[in-house]
Amino acid sequence: MDMAASPMQGARLRVASGNLVTARPIGVLEGVDYHHTGEVRRVDRKGINRLLDERSIVLLSPLGYSPTGEIFNLACEDVATRAAIELAADKLLLFGAEPGLLDAQGRLVREIRPQQVAPHLERLGSDYQAELLDAAAEACRGGVARSHIVSYVENGALLNELFTREGGGTLVAQEQFELVREAAIEDVGGLLELISPLEEQGILVRRSREVLEREIEQFSVVERESTIIACAALYPIADSDAGELACLAVNPEYRHGGRGDDLLERIETRARALGLKTLFVLTTRTAHWFRERGFVPSSVDRLPAARASLYNYQRNSKIFEKAL
């Protein structure tokens, strides 16, 4: 591409580096002298912020300097982790050869909490992926909200991880003050408070307290600071390998935050665990939302007999299905 036609034409980018990382020697471990291999002692947060304020791109190399002038070789993930913590970064990005963290069956683990990494570290042993996972967890424990492990091999992996709902790598995130979990009998009051306005508007089918108490095990909820702000239910359909997603509701104050997607993923995971192959949903107002998430139009004829016999023709709900 001609430079004059490039989007970067006229751009003034500056990359700055310097003595921004102070190191110390590892020393002798189990009789082995590591000489000039060191570990991060301190990151010059003020110096880095000063360069960033000048609109420079700060480059930190895996080299650290001691107060006595010695140079030490550092682990790059150690430098990145300490810098992210010191700078109170929103995100830390770590690149490896794999698409992200893979479980024992070779499947991608899309999200994990810092307190859940220990079994994976033990399984991975000395694999470099373990070092990346340990660094991501340490960053989260140090105050970084999110750490992403993505592949440097896959083209567009970073964009896929950051800008798509499914992501393309592994997200290591702090324990949030929001929790997606299965409902308990103590949640009935909160569920009633959440779904009653939607029932009055005719969006949801009415459910009494007695019905909710009887069906509470079918529900998954999003809890935020001891308040139920979203819910969904999974009803396996008798004599079939299908289930119905029902009563998906999100508090209006908390919409557009991806909570519906979180609940949908939770319901799909539960359905697969039960061996269900198809997920049906009946809706009167949110057809496009479900279509955007992989559901396709269906009909009463496609419903299993046990559910088709209960279809309310007066309500005239649209029917969608999704293969699991």
Q: Are residues 268 and 312 in the same domain?
A: yes
Residues 6+ apart with CB under 8 A from 187: 216, 219, 221, 228
Q: What is the DSSP annotation of 40-53?
A: EEEE-HHHHHHHHH
Does residue 82 form part of some domain? Answer: no
Q: Are residues 116 and 203 in the same domain?
A: no
Paired tokens of 173: 């995130």
Q: What is the DSSP annotation of 188-214?
A: HHHHHHHHHHHHHTTSS----HHHHHH
Q: Are residues 18 and 142 in the same domain?
A: no
160, containing H or E segment: helix 157-163
Q: Are residues 121 and 203 in the same domain?
A: no
Q: Are 228 and 263 in contact (CB under 8 A)?
A: no
| Separation of alpha carbons 234 and 323, rounded Å | 15
- pLDDT level of residue 52 (50, 70, 90 thresholds): very high
**62-75 confidence digits (pLDDT tens):** 999 988 889 999 99
Parallel/antiparallel/unpaired status of strands 111-112 and 146-151: unpaired
Query: Which domain does 301 fall in, by range?
Result: 178-323
| Separation of alpha carbons 131 and 113, rounded Å | 16
Pick the last residue of a domain from 175, 208, 243.
Answer: 175
Q: Are residues 294 and 310 in the same domain?
A: yes
Please count the structural domains in the chain: 3
Residues 6+ apart with CB under 8 A from 118: none
**218-247 confidence digits (pLDDT tens):** 999 998 767 899 999 999 999 999 999 999
Q: Determine phi and psi for 322, rounding to 5 degrees.
A: -145, 130
Q: Are residues 285 and 274 in the same domain?
A: yes
Predicted confidence at residue 246, as pLDDT, reads 95
Does residue 8 form part of some domain? Answer: no
Does residue 115 form part of some domain? Answer: yes
Predicted confidence at residue 31, as pLDDT, reads 87
Does residue 293 form part of some domain? Answer: yes
**256-288 confidence digits (pLDDT tens):** 778 899 999 999 999 999 999 999 999 998 999
Paired tokens of 74: 């550092």
Does residue 302 form part of some domain? Answer: yes
